[in-house]
Amino acid sequence: MPEQTTATRRDELLGIAARLFADKGFKNTTVRDIADAAGILSGSLYHHFDSKESMVDDILQTFQAELFAAYDDVLASDDDARTKIERAVRLSFAAIDQNPHEVAIFQNEADYLGGFPRFGYLAERNAQSRNVWMTLLTEGVESGALRADLDVTLTYRFIRDTVWVAVRWYRPGGGLSHEAIADQYLTILLDGIAHE
């Protein structure tokens, strides 16, 4: 099989596995489920992957590498503090739109997978995510873009929990685009909901 075709088939299988892991859960998805959804025999999966753990590992590593590279670009930019926060929020909602299965897997399975040495990097990514947001919020306070009395840790937790949980209800192609949701979220986060 030519290399491009093998890579394409491998990506296709990862896409199928990602959907199943997101929908059924990692523990409840079997190699047979993935093979059946792909229209192949279970043994054929082992030509591409040695286990379903390898599949979820590949899915999460690829997604997170891209997401954190984008966050790093935001942190390294010359944008003002508020713009950086806005960009990071927009990146997060775009990730939910473009990679809903990957986000759902991470949200639903990180604690379980993190119990295995192979997935130790998930805790590192959580720490990296915390650092991204704490840096952005601290910079916002220090620059005067955000209130001086802001509890940065609490605000980080609020953002983390309110942004990423959107993967449970947001549907690409639905009534609102991820850009429109990000706009509303930023209005609520940065300008509030009370009428002045």
Question: Is residue 50 in a domain?
Answer: no
pLDDT in tens, 111-121: 999 999 999 99
Residue 148: DSSP 8-state? T
Question: Is residue 51 in a domain?
Answer: no
Contact 120, 114 (CB under 8 A): yes
pLDDT in tens, 39-84: 999 888 988 999 999 999 999 999 999 999 999 999 999 999 999 9
| pTM more than 0.85 | yes
pLDDT confidence band for 173 (50 / 70 / 90): confident
What is the distance between the alpha carbons of residues 23 and 105, in angstroms, rounded to a whole number? 9
What is the distance between the alpha carbons of residues 191 and 189, in angstroms, rounded to a whole number? 6
Question: Is residue 87 in a domain?
Answer: yes
Most distant pair of Cα atoms in the chain: their distance: 65
Total domain count, the chain:
1
Question: Is residue 187 in a domain?
Answer: yes
Q: 175 lies in which domain range? A: 56-191
The CATH code of the domain that includes 162 is 1.10.357.10
Question: Is residue 163 in a domain?
Answer: yes
Q: How many CB atoms lie within 10 A of CB 89?
A: 21
Question: Is residue 161 in a domain?
Answer: yes
DSSP, collapsed to helix, strand or coil, labels residue 162 as: helix
pLDDT in tens, 5-42: 667 889 999 999 999 999 999 999 999 999 999 999 98
What is the distance between the alpha carbons of residues 32 and 133, in angstroms, rounded to a whole number? 40
- What's the confidence (pLDDT) of residue 5? 67
